[in-house]
Structure 1
Amino acid sequence: MANSTVESVKQDLDFHRALVASTGNACMSELYGVVLNRFIAIKYVLSGQYTTQDGAVDRHVELMRYIVEKDETKAFTCIGYHILKSMELLIAVINDNMVKMDADDAG
């Protein structure tokens, strides 16, 4: 991973931690620490082709705009879309790695 990518990933994780902490919800913070940090780490470790945070940064800016505007409907929709896209990426990366492992086993 290039240094700029490492820094980009760190900034992404810092954003998520700050967003969760801003809720003041101890249960959510604990859940984030246990589950979501692991999910995000796995996503980045498995995805060797992952090189940019540009799309995520745009979604984060959009989400923050809705939060500042107190537009709950758009904020929840934005969060849902962000989670969906993250899950799709994770599933695609896992599938790609499973195909590679199957090819290695067959070879």
Structure 2
Amino acid sequence: MHREIPSSNFVHRRQTSKLQRLSKKHPFLCVGLPFLVAVIGGSFVLLPLQENKYEVYDRRIQTAAHEELKSKKRKFNIQEEYFRMKSQGVWGEWEPKRVERPPEDEPVWDRQDK
């Protein structure tokens, strides 16, 4: 009453052949369905993570902008700004330069009324 135990290689071949038969019979179940589950499931997993990323970024930018506005807040006066810019020498180096025009005989625009 000895029963032979099949070798692991035989069992592996038998399981492989079942899997191959199943994949040949129903290719969508073995390839298409796992692919669709991964794509659709991945979108549902990544969507909350992406939303969280943008919310954190927006919150950080808003707090930084709010703090910056609080710290740099000063009353604007045009006269003070003029004197401040003049003292910095911003206007001391500026010099108006005339742009050269084309000669008078050269048409600037093509006119129809000539």
Please report the TM-score for the alignment, with normalisation by the length of structure 1: 0.31
Bigger relative contact order, structure 1 or 2, given CA contacts below 8 A and separation 6+?
Answer: 1
Query: Which has the higher Rg, Structure 1 or Structure 2?
Result: 2
Please report the TM-score for the alignment, with normalisation by the length of structure 2: 0.30
Q: Relative to total residues, which structure has the larger helix share, 1 or 2? A: 1
